[in-house]
Amino acid sequence: MAVTRYVKERSPNTQVVLFTAYDEMSLSLDATEAGVFAFLVKGCSPSLILQALSGAWDEKQRRDQEDSQVAHPPTGTG
């Protein structure tokens, strides 16, 4: 989880997808608290992996767009 926290502190919009061989609730909770977007256990279906990666990409794009709008708000034409 230290790597996830490090990444999220330096790049909050980066979405982390965690792949693990350990299907433990405590690990899942720790991952969620650290900011992991998706927690996948070894052996999950390829479609679930694609869904998680696609969702993480979409979330990053959404957050980047929000940040862009905050940094450069539209100006009125009046």
* CATH number of the domain encompassing residue 10: 3.40.50.2300
Token representation of residue 3: 């790597």
Q: Please check whether residue 23 lies inside any domain of the structure.
A: yes
Q: Please check whether residue 25 lies inside any domain of the structure.
A: yes
- Cβ atoms of 38 and 19 within 8 Å: the answer is no
pLDDT band per the 50, 70, 90 thresholds, residue 71: confident
- Give the pLDDT score at 70: 83
- pTM for the full model? 0.78
9-67 tens-digit pLDDT = 999 999 999 999 999 999 999 999 999 999 999 999 999 999 999 999 999 999 999 99
Report the domain count for the chain: 1
pLDDT band per the 50, 70, 90 thresholds, residue 78: low
